Amino acid sequence: MKRESVVAGLDIGSTKTCAVIAEVAGEGRSVSTKILGVGLARTTGVRRGVVRDIDETTRAVGSAVRDAERMAGAKVTGVYCGVSAENVRTQVTKGLVAVTGNEVKAADVKRVHEVALSVSLGDEHALLLPIPQEYTLDKQGGINDPVGMTGMRLEVEMRIVAVHKQSAQNLRKAVERAGYPVHELVLEPLAAAQAVLTDEEKELGCALVELGGGSTTVAIFHDHKLRHLSSDRCAGAYVTSDLVHGLSVTQTDAERLKERWGVAYTPLVDPDEMIELPSTPGQGARHAKRELVAHIVHQRLDEIFGRVLDQIGQAGYAGRLAAGVVLTGGGAHMAGIVELGREVFAMPVRKGVPERGIKGLVDSVQAPRYAVPVGLALYGMRRSLGDAAGDTTVDRVLGPVKRWLQEFF
């Protein structure tokens, strides 16, 4: 496969669609990713990661990618498109084989993977990617790479990520109708992690929380592995709805108020500050304390964070995430979001802003909402370089996706 010099990441959300175009430069360890262009479009055809209106989704995709192309001064041959957690399910399986000879070879690893992946996913789902959690050799667990080790009985614990077939097909169709082939569908939390998490955070344990418009996604990383993935529909749209009812404004005006005046942590707001509210001709001028807007936002986000904390506990990671919580997505832009997070989670909290391994128009993507599209562009870069580099024994066993996961983790 010919190496591409320009790659594009595409994040189709419930409220916004974002495209990031990047250029691949250099070779091997000196490779770099240069951000060339960014495009952003409003989305109305997607709800909770599922395409509800293909034509409208196609329009948003076309608008975002074309804007990114104009900024970049380059055309893309296709995109790496994100798949949200709402469209996937995960399950843990195990495989067991007898080692051929007394030393584990790549062929043995391949066989144990095949056994672990032999489970039925049903008619509605297809394998998106397998993530080996650990290997066990003759009852000795915690092994990351068993090749070359001596033993007779090889086991693997595998986390399988399966995508909903129909949702994936509709997503691909909407993108390709805009004129952009989909090179690959990529799990969004893994892409975001590539863009914003440090190696130390992935090792010590952290929760990557995406605050989207249609859903809140929690991905837990520990010991360099994805250990948990879940999605909750209580998200940014609920905050907007609260403002609609609490302030008697339209949906559009509520979004604008949230973006301009929203504060996630009420104590940060001057209790005497007044703001002007949108009004109809019959209503006349309307004003309210900014503290009221902050209170509405604070209450809902406090609930959302409480639900995230519950998910962390249910996954068995309460008190185990030494690196704390990293916030991404459009909701993480809001002032006071870190302060509220620290109060609710009682652990370190920061905003996840893309900055690892990128150059070029870095300022254009220095916000939490760009974690996924930048991560997708980084994924595309690694796939391009990986395919150009040629296969190794491990590559042939683990496949291109796992090859990237190895580099990532």
Residue 408 pLDDT: 46
Residue 227 pLDDT: 94
Beta bridge partners of 184: 80
Per-residue confidence band for 1, with pLDDT thresholds at 50, 70 and 90: very low
Residue 25 pLDDT: 67
Per-residue confidence band for 169, with pLDDT thresholds at 50, 70 and 90: very high
pLDDT digits (tens, 9 = 90+) for 330-376: 999 999 999 999 999 999 999 999 987 788 889 999 999 999 999 99
More confident residue, 130 or 401: 130
What is the residue-averaged pLDDT of the chain?
89
Q: Quick check: 395 pLDDT over 60?
A: no
Q: In sequence order, which residues have a C-beta less than 8 Å from that of residue 45 and are 6 or more positions away?
A: 51, 52, 53, 54, 55, 56, 57, 58, 59, 60, 174
Residue 30 pLDDT: 64
pLDDT digits (tens, 9 = 90+) for 233-283: 999 999 999 999 999 999 999 999 999 999 999 999 999 999 999 887 777
Amino acid at 374: V
pLDDT digits (tens, 9 = 90+) for 72-111: 999 999 999 999 998 899 999 999 999 998 899 999 999 9
More confident residue, 28 or 41: 41
* Mean pLDDT along residues 186-204: 95
pTM for this model (two decimals): 0.88
Domains recognised in the chain with CATH numbers:
88-163 (3.30.1490.110), 202-351 (3.30.420.40)
Residue 27 pLDDT: 65
* Residue 385 C-alpha from the chain's centroid: 22
Q: Quick check: 24 pLDDT over 90?
A: no
Compute, in degrees rounded to 10, the torsion defined by CA atoms 200, 196, 310, 244. Answer: 160
pLDDT digits (tens, 9 = 90+) for 33-49: 899 999 999 988 888 77
* Mean pLDDT along residues 3-29: 84
